[in-house]
Structure 1
């Protein structure tokens, strides 16, 4: 058997595993708002998300650009070299994402794949330059530095923007609805729902369907040329429909909004983030097919073919969707990650997972002083209105066990979708995980979910998660470079060592998580993700 054919088989086997660990971590992006607000039965929420994933994959453009040429310049690498890079990346990705899943910490699959590609490419390029006697200063030619810097800066900038947008949007929404939002649904609800549904519809078209294989360039060009008219038409339609539903039916329009938001984020996840899980194996397969009939040695065949656009076969996309949907329903680690975010954003106090530290306490104190200062500058009428709308005395929860209400759930989904759609329209890369998580934390702060007794704990948790994001980049780069070094130096023996090492760590991780789950199943606070 050709060793490189074996490498391709291994890559696709790793792709299935990567889909499982990737979905387990990314599911929090589109599930947490619906689950946290108890908008419906868990099977219904999962069903809506599953439909979003299926539609997202079917309407996907299928272009795996980042894996092929986004981080390194493939025309300077041989076939043998890119296969080393791809194997190192996939093995690292599975290991890294499983680690975060076990810890119950959401992280960015985009950041992980970018830094894994970067680490492996740097390692392979360095050894190649040493072998050929070239100067290491040539390394910059092998790496697509401008693209890498753009992706990295855009991703980390989204942290601040998403948090700020979440705070502002939730504060305005709470002034509109108050915590007794059902009393104002008739007057305020249709307007808010119309605006939110317009944002979500635009998000689905721009982020989810743009560039799809089902729509030609004429359609995409029409969308771009008629952006404003498209928004206005959607706004009129959804506002009118919301008024009609509110007046003539007993349907809770905020429930509809949360379900549509869940569907739209799941669709965008499947159609755009799929590259993070199967992009590398697809690139490996395309590399193998380009090399196979060339008659040139693997160490001499240059990978110019990866510079073009090659769509992914639909059968592979459908199989990927099946794996993602099954994982969504079955993965216990997905529930662990979801629990972390919901617990950090829940309205009520309870057992806190994270212990406060000096940085968290400092942030809480500064934030409280800033709020007091701004509040003191407001007119008395405004102060009275704010206090009235934030009054939660004798308030009964609409759903037993809900961590927050549907007003906040709808804001989480709408603002996250809006930010992702804006970034996409301007071709600015960002992390859907970072955006979704930071919007949820911003709305929690604006909703005063972080009270005096919980603020330091919650902020400490947020800082832990953000710290984990920076560690994602460092760990992804370092481990991928290490794995690439072993495989590059020892060929099949090095690959065997790496696979056995990863398998052993995953086994230990599985045992640890199983014991961890047994301990938390009896804790009432964890029940919020099991409803």
Structure 2
């Protein structure tokens, strides 16, 4: 039996390593987004500062480990065998949940997930325990669950959302009022003091407040005081010395080496926030396995049956070996540097907080539109009540300046003033919570601080506000979903293991592995698609030849996709093959989505291609005709699927024969279109036009045949409407395809002439 539970402890630590990897991939956004978004330093410097912060912060986690052991449930009410079921259910659920969010690039809270997983698993095991004893769940559940502490943790997490957003918005407003967007002049006078104050605040909360409960807080000094006691008694001295020292150091660096003050603040802030992250969130990844290991040690020493050994020892004080904390920190550092999923999550937050306009990831929603409308009306009322001079003066402080070309990879998403406020504010809030041993969500805090500073910085203007607010609500909605999924899945897993037997543990571990592997393939597929789109996008460095190649690729892809969608759609409809018709719909949706993205980037593209009016005009036409082709395919294929999906009567043999011949004619037409575009044989367009006209004549003939069938009452109304729709949309498809090729010809012609 001892060997079996030893295996379970090993499984717990194996799951912990996986959890560290998927957890850091999610939480890296918390301390990287400000430095990366502001381009404060090369990435290797940012990663170095973050890595050092993680390693130092890992040693601050010891006090937080108590949350996993006794923060959610009363351990003395459970036996060793039951505790192991709870811990395994938590770790399995956590890996699946976090990996799913990482795959879709959505930041979620590792703290919320671990709290609700512990709660769900503990409730499930408690219910089984109570029912087995013949008791009442309603009357006895409170004996097992630490409801007071759990509610305090949950309310603290939810409150942190409001507090972080509000504090971030207020601090950013007054900071921008002091420095404005053209902060160079004011930075000469206030920069050193601002930097000294910022780093002093970090020093205070990270070294004075954060030291409480750390692994070295109880070390005794020569005076007999512990480090924690010394820090408490000398707080004011440390603050004054820190402020004076940092102010002088920053000013000297500026005078002697011309160092950018804000860059120093951002890098120190990145270190501090990474440190706070490791101090607060390491418990989310290794707290449960460490508690499981401690439980195993206590059980082995007792010699009692696992079903009879009470886990009351978990309610006492405990410490985690420093080597475990540092090893966990090293795993987090390696993941931070190499994880592509971490980069995907970071992009989501930077996209929502960037200063410039561009492609918005999220659509608009009714609540976002309502909030923007209400805010605009309130702002108008407030402006009317303010003196004109004051209003204009404040407005000038918040007038943004260009940070570089829009959507250029080297253009910062926001300036270093905002990055500094993000980091310092979030660090302070997280450090306060860590010192109070409240496991608030670092993701919630950093995300909401970033959103609050974006609001104050007027990054959410009338062009982007509804989309950014919708994005924020989408992320927050994901947070609530995290809690629901974590509680439910962890509870179900714990319940099934408790009822079905211990062998189900290994079944669920296998399921977790399979799901992680599956999401990894899904992520790679999404990543490859995004890379392909980036390669096809126009860049400023592209010469005339490169521009023509990319435009040609767009047209070639549109022609190939159109032919495939049309042929697969019609043939599968005639064969009543629902699976293939669904494939045609998926191809149609992909073409529609791609053409929509290309059109949404038209402003950015036109600003990058050669500055010639006719060249830009013909490119716009190329994009427009691609969209029209996508629309025609949608109006053609969707009714076919609905007809088949509703099990209506198939077309007659005569109709099927006509449509099959039409497929052959269009296949021949699009093959020739492909030849014209690929080889730039634009003198063959006249022949293409002739083929198009011949197909249209054929369509007229099939329409007449359909009218004859109607007259002889061989077809019904639904059949006729669908048949005429196919003919109509096919004509539109042919017209737009020819126009696309002509527009591409003109684009190439004028690009060549302009490039000479």
TM-score by length of 2: 0.67
Displacement of 1:473 in angstroms is: 0.8
Q: 1:448 to 1:354 in 2, by over 3 A?
A: same
Residue 52 of structure 1 is matched in structure 2 by 53
For residues 376 and 230 of structure 2, the distance between their equivalents in structure 1, rounded to whole angstroms, comes to 48
Do the aligned residues in 2 keep the contact of 1:360 with 1:460 (CA within 8 Å)? yes
Residue 373 of structure 1 is matched in structure 2 by 381
For residues 62 and 110 of structure 2, the distance between their equivalents in structure 1, rounded to whole angstroms, comes to 19
Q: Secondary structure at the match of 1:185?
A: helix
Unaligned runs of 5+ in 1: none
Tell me which of 159, 173, 176 is aligned to 1:174: 176
| Worse-superposed segment, 398-407 or 421-430 | 421-430
Do the aligned residues in 1 keep the contact of 2:404 with 2:411 (CA within 8 Å)? no
Find out whether 1:99 has 2:100 as its counterpart.
yes
Find out whether 1:156 has 2:158 as its counterpart.
yes
Displacement of 1:429 in angstroms is: 4.3
Displacement of 1:60 in angstroms is: 4.2
Displacement of 1:425 in angstroms is: 4.5
Per-residue deviation, residues 74-101 of structure 1 (Å, max 9, x unmatched) = 0010000000000000000001111111
Find out whether 1:484 has 2:510 as its counterpart.
no
Residue 281 of structure 1 is matched in structure 2 by 289
Per-residue deviation, residues 312-368 of structure 1 (Å, max 9, x unmatched) = 122222221121111001111000100000000001111111011101111111222
Displacement of 1:396 in angstroms is: 5.2
For residues 14 and 399 of structure 1, the distance between their equivalents in structure 2, rounded to whole angstroms, comes to 37
Q: Secondary structure at the match of 1:391?
A: coil
Q: How does 1:124-523 map onto structure 2 within 5 Å?
A: 124-136=125-137, 137-206=139-208, 208-216=210-218, 218-392=226-400, 400-426=410-436, 428-523=438-533
| Worse-superposed segment, 61-70 or 267-276 | 61-70
Do the aligned residues in 2 keep the contact of 1:63 with 1:309 (CA within 8 Å)? no
Residue 19 of structure 2 is matched in structure 1 by 18
Do the aligned residues in 1 keep the contact of 2:25 with 2:335 (CA within 8 Å)? yes
For residues 478 and 114 of structure 1, the distance between their equivalents in structure 2, rounded to whole angstroms, comes to 12
Q: 1:393 to 1:204 in 2, by over 3 A?
A: closer
Find out whether 1:117 has 2:118 as its counterpart.
yes
| Worse-superposed segment, 305-314 or 21-30 | 305-314
Per-residue deviation, residues 178-213 of structure 1 (Å, max 9, x unmatched) = 111123210121222122111111122145433322
Q: 1:522 to 1:381 in 2, by over 3 A?
A: farther
Per-residue deviation, residues 406-431 of structure 1 (Å, max 9, x unmatched) = 00000000111122233445555421
Displacement of 1:173 in angstroms is: 1.2
Do the aligned residues in 1 keep the contact of 2:281 with 2:439 (CA within 8 Å)? no
Do the aligned residues in 2 keep the contact of 1:38 with 1:399 (CA within 8 Å)? no
Do the aligned residues in 1 keep the contact of 2:299 with 2:309 (CA within 8 Å)? yes
| Worse-superposed segment, 245-254 or 143-152 | 245-254
Do the aligned residues in 2 keep the contact of 1:60 with 1:208 (CA within 8 Å)? no
| RMSD between aligned residues | 2.1
| Worse-superposed segment, 160-169 or 386-395 | 386-395
For residues 346 and 379 of structure 2, the distance between their equivalents in structure 1, rounded to whole angstroms, comes to 30
Q: How does 1:14-93 map onto structure 2 within 5 Å?
A: 14-61=15-62, 64-93=65-94
Q: 1:183 to 1:524 in 2, by over 3 A?
A: farther
Do the aligned residues in 1 keep the contact of 2:33 with 2:349 (CA within 8 Å)? yes
For residues 217 and 158 of structure 2, the distance between their equivalents in structure 1, rounded to whole angstroms, comes to 32
Structure with higher Rg: it is 2
Q: 1:232 to 1:375 in 2, by over 3 A?
A: farther
For residues 276 and 456 of structure 1, the distance between their equivalents in structure 2, rounded to whole angstroms, comes to 34
Q: 1:438 to 1:501 in 2, by over 3 A?
A: same
Displacement of 1:294 in angstroms is: 1.6
Aligned length in residues: 527
For residues 418 and 448 of structure 2, the distance between their equivalents in structure 1, rounded to whole angstroms, comes to 13
Do the aligned residues in 2 keep the contact of 1:31 with 1:262 (CA within 8 Å)? yes
For residues 86 and 106 of structure 2, the distance between their equivalents in structure 1, rounded to whole angstroms, comes to 27
Q: 1:169 to 1:365 in 2, by over 3 A?
A: same
For residues 268 and 337 of structure 2, the distance between their equivalents in structure 1, rounded to whole angstroms, comes to 19
Per-residue deviation, residues 291-313 of structure 1 (Å, max 9, x unmatched) = 11322111111001111222112
For residues 27 and 208 of structure 2, the distance between their equivalents in structure 1, rounded to whole angstroms, comes to 20
Displacement of 1:12 in angstroms is: 0.7
Q: 1:457 to 1:472 in 2, by over 3 A?
A: same
Q: Secondary structure at the match of 1:349?
A: coil
For residues 166 and 381 of structure 2, the distance between their equivalents in structure 1, rounded to whole angstroms, comes to 18
| Worse-superposed segment, 503-512 or 372-381 | 372-381
For residues 422 and 309 of structure 2, the distance between their equivalents in structure 1, rounded to whole angstroms, comes to 49
Displacement of 1:272 in angstroms is: 2.6
TM-score by length of 1: 0.95
For residues 159 and 437 of structure 2, the distance between their equivalents in structure 1, rounded to whole angstroms, comes to 14
For residues 67 and 395 of structure 1, the distance between their equivalents in structure 2, rounded to whole angstroms, comes to 45
For residues 339 and 235 of structure 2, the distance between their equivalents in structure 1, rounded to whole angstroms, comes to 39
Do the aligned residues in 2 keep the contact of 1:63 with 1:311 (CA within 8 Å)? no
| Worse-superposed segment, 348-357 or 265-274 | 265-274
Q: 1:425 to 1:316 in 2, by over 3 A?
A: closer
For residues 510 and 435 of structure 2, the distance between their equivalents in structure 1, rounded to whole angstroms, comes to 43
Displacement of 1:113 in angstroms is: 0.5
Do the aligned residues in 1 keep the contact of 2:73 with 2:119 (CA within 8 Å)? yes
Displacement of 1:520 in angstroms is: 1.6
Do the aligned residues in 2 keep the contact of 1:37 with 1:406 (CA within 8 Å)? yes
For residues 450 and 523 of structure 1, the distance between their equivalents in structure 2, rounded to whole angstroms, comes to 26
For residues 243 and 383 of structure 2, the distance between their equivalents in structure 1, rounded to whole angstroms, comes to 34
Q: Secondary structure at the match of 1:25?
A: helix
Unaligned runs of 5+ in 2: 220-225, 538-756
